[in-house]
């Protein structure tokens, strides 16, 4: 794992994408600080991070698109398979390297509240609390990017899908206000989601019975709930969209609350997508 980590770090420093990632993050947070902290003279640094989080839509896919797609394209994944290391070690090594790359611009950002505190009163505790949350949320998005990169050998495709998914996640709360909140609407949406889940299971396991079984059970469950008590499903879809949004949960930190459930949620997302990435890497040996 250490070997993979060291090698990845070295590769990142040779790669333009890393510098673009760092530069865009710093630029966006910098513009935010100018607008909020300097021009508007607001003493909360959290607002800056809330503003800056939009840039994740672009920079996370830029950073993560090559992480596994490139290995597959250059056939270097064969080397990784033949070395005495496990798929989990490969994914963890690569993921930690990505986090270290992400920490570099973030550690520069850590100085901003200190600088501003010299010129007025800044709530350092909430500022650093939200920087920590900003780091964890970014890490969750990076883990999603890693998983998307593991699905394809085309970097552009990985980046495109990554941008689409993160953008949808960013706007999902706003979109949720327009989607149907009736029970039947929720049922249809849930069935579609179950279908997507079934497709992913089938792609990862190549096991038709498992995919059909899981989708069938979940689908039947939804239908039974609908038939027994359809009021329970009212407003379910918008609620799910709000719950799944990584960005929405960050707002708690912006409002000055250190929300442990949000942190736990982010960590769950990280573990889930890293697990999927390991499975995706393992699966390629079975096709």
Partner 1 sequence: MISVEHLTKCYGDIVAVDDVSFKIDEGHVYGFLGPNGAGKTTIMNIMTGCLSATEGRVLIGGYDIFEEPCQAKKLIGYLPEQPPLYMTDTPLEYLKFVGEAKGLGGSELKEQIDKVIEQTKIENVKNRPISSLSKGYKQRVGIAQALLGNPKVIILDEPTVGLDPIQIVEIRDLIKELGREHTVIFSSHILSEVQAICDQVLIISKGKLVAFDQPENLEKLLLAPNEIIITTDARDKEIRDILAKINHIVDFTIKEEGAYTKAQIKTDHKDVYEVSRQIFLGFAEKNKTLLEMALKKTDLEDIFIELTEKSNSNEATESEGIKQ
Residues that bind partner 1 (CB under 8 A): 2-4, 6-7, 10-11, 14-15, 74-79, 81-86, 285-287
Please state the φ and ψ torsions of residue 43, each to the nearest 5 degrees: -95, 5
d(CA 236, CA 190): 9
Task: Identify the burial level of 143 via C-beta atoms within 10 angstroms of its C-beta, where 0-12 means exposed, 13-18 middle and 19 or more buried.
Answer: buried
The residue among 79 and 223 lying less far from partner 1, judged by its C-beta, is 79
Q: How far is the CB of 151 from partner 1 (least distance, A)?
A: 19
The residue among 27 and 79 lying less far from partner 1, judged by its C-beta, is 79
Can you count the helices (H) and strands (E) in the chain?
A: 15, 0
Q: How far is the CB of 96 from partner 1 (least distance, A)?
A: 15
The residue among 83 and 223 lying less far from partner 1, judged by its C-beta, is 83
Helix (H) or strand (E) holding 180: none
- Of 278, 287, 244, nearest to 88 by C-alpha is 278
Q: Are 173 and 241 in contact (CB under 8 A)?
A: yes
Q: How far is the CB of 66 from partner 1 (least distance, A)?
A: 11
- Of 230, 180, 25, nearest to 110 by C-alpha is 25
Q: How far is the CB of 31 from partner 1 (least distance, A)?
A: 32
The residue among 78 and 107 lying less far from partner 1, judged by its C-beta, is 78
The residue among 66 and 249 lying less far from partner 1, judged by its C-beta, is 66
* Secondary structure of 209-270 as H, E, C letters: HHHHHHHHHHHHHHHHHHHHCHHHHCCHHHHHHHHHCHHHHHHHHHCCCCCHHHHHHHHHHH
Q: How far is the CB of 74 from partner 1 (least distance, A)?
A: 7
d(CA 146, CA 91): 9
Contacts of 136 (CB under 8 A, 6+ apart): 263, 266, 267
Q: How far is the CB of 92 from partner 1 (least distance, A)?
A: 13
The residue among 81 and 272 lying less far from partner 1, judged by its C-beta, is 81
Q: How far is the CB of 6 from partner 1 (least distance, A)?
A: 7
The residue among 58 and 87 lying less far from partner 1, judged by its C-beta, is 87
d(CA 285, CA 287): 6
């Amino acid at each position: 794992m250490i070997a993979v980590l060291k090698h990845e770090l070295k590769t990142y420093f040779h790669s333009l994408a890393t510098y673009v990632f760092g530069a865009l993050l710093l630029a966006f947070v910098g513009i935010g600080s100018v607008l909020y902290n300097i021009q508007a003279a607001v003493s909360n640094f959290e607002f800056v991070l809330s503003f800056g989080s939009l840039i994740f839509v672009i920079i996370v896919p830029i950073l993560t698109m090559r992480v596994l797609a490139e290995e597959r394209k250059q056939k270097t994944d064969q080397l990784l398979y033949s070395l005495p290391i496990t798929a989990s070690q490969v994914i963890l090594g690569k993921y930690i390297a990505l986090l270290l790359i992400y920490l570099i611009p973030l550690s520069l950002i850590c100085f901003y509240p200190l600088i501003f505190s010299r010129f007025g009163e800044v709530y350092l505790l909430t500022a650093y609390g939200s920087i920590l949350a900003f780091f964890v949320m970014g890490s969750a998005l990076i883990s999603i990017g890693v998983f998307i990169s593991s699905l394809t050998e085309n970097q552009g495709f990985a980046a495109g899908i990554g941008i689409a998914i993160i953008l949808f996640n960013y706007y999902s709360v706003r979109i949720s206000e327009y989607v149907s909140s009736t029970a039947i609407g929720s049922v249809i949406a849930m069935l579609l989601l179950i279908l997507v889940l079934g497709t992913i299971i089938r792609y990862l396991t190549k096991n038709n019975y498992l995919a059909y079984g899981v989708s069938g059970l979940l689908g039947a469950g939804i239908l039974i709930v609908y038939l027994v008590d359809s009021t329970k499903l009212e407003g379910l879809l918008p609620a799910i969209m709000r719950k799944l949004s990584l960005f929405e949960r960050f707002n708690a930190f912006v409002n000055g609350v250190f929300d442990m459930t949000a942190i736990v949620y982010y960590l769950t997302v990280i573990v889930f997508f890293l697990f999927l990435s390991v499975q995706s890497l393992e699966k390629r040996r079975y096709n």
